């Protein structure tokens, strides 16, 4: 881990499936989401023209995406009330729900099974969750709490808690490698993504192609009131996308490689609007202009790529 620490100091990183979403939300996303059909013979890097596709909108039937639709109602009682900001993670037979300072574990039929973790700062206790990684093959889950990783079995047994000497959001991959994403609000750091091995040794990285030259005193660059997914898994591959970068990357072996490009065209936020402003009048001007632009997140199924685009001011999905 010391090697990785040195690498992050060098690059000045700041501290800072998934089968589908829960099924009712998935149907809403499929109805509202923008879709692009990947060519069957498409194997290399390619582009999605967002503007052009919006001019050729076609209705997509749910039957074109799935043969079956199943609604899962999660059991709730005083032991397992779900926070409105909860996030949902799936493996083949279980559903895990992040609930601020603990995790709720459900069967894939919606039955409540167990509460994992409890509030606190001691062993097996959780203060706040940045992200969650599930490794089904090892029956392990990893909770990121700021600069530490807490490791449990899928049965809820506490294993260990270790410090991670770098900032960013950490995802643990199935083979134990780590992806670190720097979600810096000001985006003036030198890296966006870093891939390391289990020991923390750097293997591959993506530079920050859209850095801001200065760190302003007031930030107008909005942070969503929710946590849009920046990662997805498909076909045993792990994909990643940063909010200010239109390229979707994938992890292949020990490398991070470009997978495809989302050309937002006139909907892309100009760099000058990403720079924070000072003063209420400037802020109002920013809010007025930024309402015309969107950022996107994505996932894919066998024949389709789904883009969810969110407005920078109203956070309304497109």
Question: What is the band of 28 on the pLDDT scale with cuts at 50, 70, 90?
Answer: very low
Long-range contacts of the stretch 68-72 (C-beta < 8 A, 24+): 69/23, 69/27, 70/23, 71/23, 71/24, 72/22, 72/23, 72/108, 72/109, 72/110
The answer, yes or no, to whether residue 80 has pLDDT greater than 90, is no
The per-residue pLDDT for 7 is 37
Q: Spell out the residues 6+ positions from residue 55 whose beta carbon is closer than 8 angstroms to its own.
A: none
Percent of the chain predicted with pLDDT > 90? 25
Dist. CA 237–CA 220, nearest whole Å: 35
Task: Show the 3-state SS of the chain.
Answer: CHHHHHHHHHHCCCCCCCCCCCHHHHHHHHHHCEEEECCCCCCCCEEEEHHHHHCCCCCCCHHHCCCCCCCCCCCCCCCCCCCCCCEEEECCCEEEEECCCCEEEEECCCCEEEEECEECCCCCEECCCCEEEEEHHHCEEEEEECCEEEEEECCCCEEEEEECCCCCEEEECCCCCEEEECCCCCCCCCEEEEEECCCCCEEEEEECCCCCCCCCCCCCCCCCCCCCCCEEEECCEEEECCCCCCEEEEEECCEEEEEEEEECHHHCCCHHHHCCCCCHHHHHHHHHHHCCCEEEEEEECCCEEEEEEEECCCCCEC
Predicted confidence (pLDDT) per residue in 136-178, tens digit: 888 999 999 888 889 999 999 999 988 886 778 889 998 989 9
Asked which of 8-17, 101-110, 215-224 is least confident by mean pLDDT, the reply is: 8-17
Of 303 and 201, more confident: 201
Dist. CA 310–CA 297, nearest whole Å: 8
The tokens describing 94, both together, are 């279980």
The per-residue pLDDT for 287 is 79
Q: Report the range out of 187-196, 261-270, 273-282 with the highest average pLDDT.
A: 261-270
The tokens describing 5, both together, are 């620490």
Mean pLDDT of 74-95: 87
Percent of the chain predicted with pLDDT > 70? 75
The per-residue pLDDT for 242 is 86
The answer, yes or no, to whether residue 297 has pLDDT greater than 50, is yes
Predicted confidence (pLDDT) per residue in 51-77, tens digit: 888 888 888 888 887 888 888 999 988
The answer, yes or no, to whether residue 41 has pLDDT greater than 90, is no
Question: What is the band of 111 on the pLDDT scale with cuts at 50, 70, 90?
Answer: very high
Contact status, residue 133 vs residue 145, Cβ threshold 8 Å: no
Contact status, residue 34 vs residue 318, Cβ threshold 8 Å: yes
Mean pLDDT of 186-192: 66
Question: What is the band of 189 on the pLDDT scale with cuts at 50, 70, 90?
Answer: low
133 alpha carbon, distance to own chain's centre: 11
Contact status, residue 26 vs residue 32, Cβ threshold 8 Å: no
Asked which of 21-30, 193-202, 292-301 is least confident by mean pLDDT, the reply is: 21-30
The per-residue pLDDT for 228 is 66
The answer, yes or no, to whether residue 20 has pLDDT greater than 60, is no
The per-residue pLDDT for 312 is 81
Strand 46-49 and strand 255-263: pairing?
Answer: parallel
The per-residue pLDDT for 109 is 92
């Amino acid at each position: 881990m010391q090697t990785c620490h040195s690498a992050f100091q060098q690059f000045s990183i700041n501290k800072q499936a998934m089968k589908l979403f829960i099924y009712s939300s998935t149907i809403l996303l499929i109805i509202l989401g923008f879709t692009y059909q990947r060519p069957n013979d498409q194997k290399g890097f390619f582009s999605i023209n967002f503007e052009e596709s919006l001019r050729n909108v076609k209705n997509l039937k749910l039957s074109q995406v799935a043969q079956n639709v199943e609604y899962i109602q999660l059991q709730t009682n005083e032991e397992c009330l779900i926070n409105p900001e909860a996030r949902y993670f799936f493996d083949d037979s279980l559903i895990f729900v992040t609930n601020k300072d603990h995790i709720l574990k459900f069967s894939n039929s919606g039955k409540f099974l167990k509460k994992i973790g409890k509030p606190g700062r001691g062993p097996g206790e959780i203060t706040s969750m940045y992200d969650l990684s599930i490794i089904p093959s090892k029956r392990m889950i990893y909770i990121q709490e700021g600069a530490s990783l807490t490791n449990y079995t899928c049965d809820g047994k506490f294993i260990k808690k270790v410090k991670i000497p770098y900032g960013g959001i950490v995802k643990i991959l199935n083979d134990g490698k780590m992806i670190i994403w720097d979600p810096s609000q000001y985006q003036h750091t030198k890296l966006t993504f870093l891939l390391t091995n289990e020991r923390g040794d750097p293997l591959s990285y993506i530079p920050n192609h859209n850095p801001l030259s200065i760190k302003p005193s007031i930030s107008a660059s909005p942070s969503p009131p929710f946590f849009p997914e920046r990662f997805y898994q498909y076909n045993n591959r792990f994909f990643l996308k940063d909010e200010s970068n239109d390229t979707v990357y994938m992890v292949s072996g020990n490398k991070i490689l470009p997978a495809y490009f989302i050309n937002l065209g006139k909907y892309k936020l100009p760099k000058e609007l990403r720079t924070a402003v000072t003063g209420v009048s400037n802020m109002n001007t920013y809010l007025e202009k930024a309402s015309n632009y969107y950022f996107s997140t994505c996932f894919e199924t066998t024949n389709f790529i789904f883009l969810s685009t969110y407005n920078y001011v109203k956070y309304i999905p497109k």
